[in-house]
Amino acid sequence: MLASSFTQLTVLLAVGALLLGAFAAWWAMSSVRPLKELTARMRRLADGDLEVDVPSTDRGDEVGEISRAVAVFKPNGLERIQIEREAAPRAPSRVSAKASQRSRAGTASAAHSEHVTSITSLF
């Protein structure tokens, strides 16, 4: 009778361990699969593909939080492109202004060097 109870307990514990293992595997897969998909979408966003949709933003867990954080990069990227497009026509004038500044700085530097040379030649 004691052997029978021990066998039943062993079988019950084995079934419980199998169920626990199956649940752990299901839970891990339900977390890993969306993260793999999110990682792929993040790479596309990083490569400049702003047409990509960010998955799992409706989830209430950590994966959803990460997805919502990643989704912020899309409108920010679009805004950056818009700012760059608006700034592009002004870029040549900034370049010529910087070149003019450098030219004036070079002239001032040359004049300063001449003054220093003339002063040191007095000694």
Chain segment 106-119, per-residue pLDDT in tens: 565 555 556 556 55
Q: Which residues span the domain enclosing 16?
A: 9-96
Mean pLDDT of 12-33: 91
Judged against a pLDDT cut of 70, whether residue 30 lies above it is answered with: yes
Question: Tokens 């040549």 appear where?
Answer: 92
Q: What is the DSSP string of 38-90?
A: HHHHHHHHHTT-TTPPPP-TT-SSHHHHHHHHHHTHHHHHHHHHHHHHHHGGG
Nearest CA to 19 out of 8, 29, 27 is that of 27
Say how far residue 69 (Cα) sits from the centre of its chain: 10
CATH of the domain at 86: 1.10.8.500
Give the mean pLDDT of 88-103.
60
- Residues 42-62: what's their mean pLDDT? 89
The mean pLDDT of the chain is: 80
- The number of distinct structural domains making up the chain is 1
Please give the residue that has the higher pLDDT: either 107 or 44: 44
Residue 110 lies in a domain: no
Q: How far apart (Å, rounded) are the C-alpha atoms in residues 64 and 70? A: 10
Is the confidence at residue 21, as pLDDT, over 80?
yes
* Within-domain flag for 38: yes
Read off the pTM: 0.50
SS3 122: coil
